[in-house]
Each structure stands twice: as structure tokens, then as C-alpha cells.
Amino acid sequence: DAGVTQSPTHLIKTRGQQVTLRCSPKSGHDTVSWYQQALGQGPQFIFQYYEEEERQRGNFPDRFSGHQFPNYSSELNVNALLLGDSALYLCASSLRTGGVNYGYTFGSGTRLTVV
């Protein structure tokens, strides 16, 4: 039973570029959440996708956008990269039942470095 898979594991981008990160949820899960974890900090919620729609968003600018596909996988896109976007990006999947998310499972993240 595969867990949450994220790709790529590491990425180096230049300031001003755009980046796409990918996440495949755990089998049986239908909801994907994205978190940004700066070095030495706890993860911060970016947004959550369920039924191919953004359901809730954290305090992140519009440069951060996402998408969920019919197979529940998800992408996180960041435009106009800033040095401050350098972080570990974690994907978490869960099963949403009755409006409640159960069993958050995290991937190992994508380490993004902006130079």
C-alpha cells in the first residue's frame, strides 16, 4: 500500500522562475493538503484540495496555486519565485468523510531552493 509520493525530491530554481511540485495521495485518500516548512520552523498550511476544488487557503499570496486531478493527485505551482520561497514543501493526504478529515498521511516533501 503506497503512501504519499512527492516529486521531485529536490529542486533548484532561479528567482523569478515558476515551479510545479507533484503529489500522489495514499491509496484510498481523496483530499490533498500542501504545507510549506521553512528551515527550523513548523509547517504552515498553504491550501487543501478536495473534489478538484480548493477548499481552504492559508495566508499565502496568489503566486501559490494548485490543482487536483480526477485521480486525486495534486500539483502545487509557485510563480515569480522569491528567495523566501526556499523551503520544504510537504503534501498530506487524508480521507474526507462528513466534512471531517481523517488520518493525515504526509509525504517526504520536496526541498525547493531558490537562488
Partner 1 sequence: AQTVTQSQPEMSVQEAETVTLSCTYDTSESNYYLFWYKQPPSRQMILVIRQEAYKQQNATENRFSVNFQKAAKSFSLKISDSQLGDTAMYFCAFLIQGAQKLVFGQGTRLTINP
Residue partners of 56: CB distance under 8 A and separation at least 6: 45, 47, 48
Q: Are 71 and 31 in contact, with CB atoms under 8 Å apart?
A: no
CA angle 60, 73, 49 (to 5 degrees): 40
Is residue 101 a contact residue for partner 1 (CB under 8 A)? yes
In this chain, which stretch among 15-23, 41-49, 63-71, 73-81 interacts with partner 1, using CB under 8 A?
A: 41-49
In this chain, which stretch among 19-27, 61-69, 76-84, 86-94 interacts with partner 1, using CB under 8 A?
A: 86-94
In this chain, which stretch among 17-25, 63-71, 73-81, 84-92 interacts with partner 1, using CB under 8 A?
A: 84-92
How far is Cα 17 from Cα 59, in angstroms, rounded to an integer? Answer: 21
Q: Which is nearer to partner 1, 18 or 56 (CB)?
A: 56
With CB under 8 A as the rule, give the number of residues binding partner 1.
24
Is residue 106 a contact residue for partner 1 (CB under 8 A)? yes
Residue partners of 19: CB distance under 8 A and separation at least 6: 11, 13, 77, 78, 81, 112
Name the residues that contact partner 1, by CB under 8 A. Answer: 33, 35, 40-45, 48, 55-56, 58, 88, 90, 92, 99-101, 104, 106-109, 111
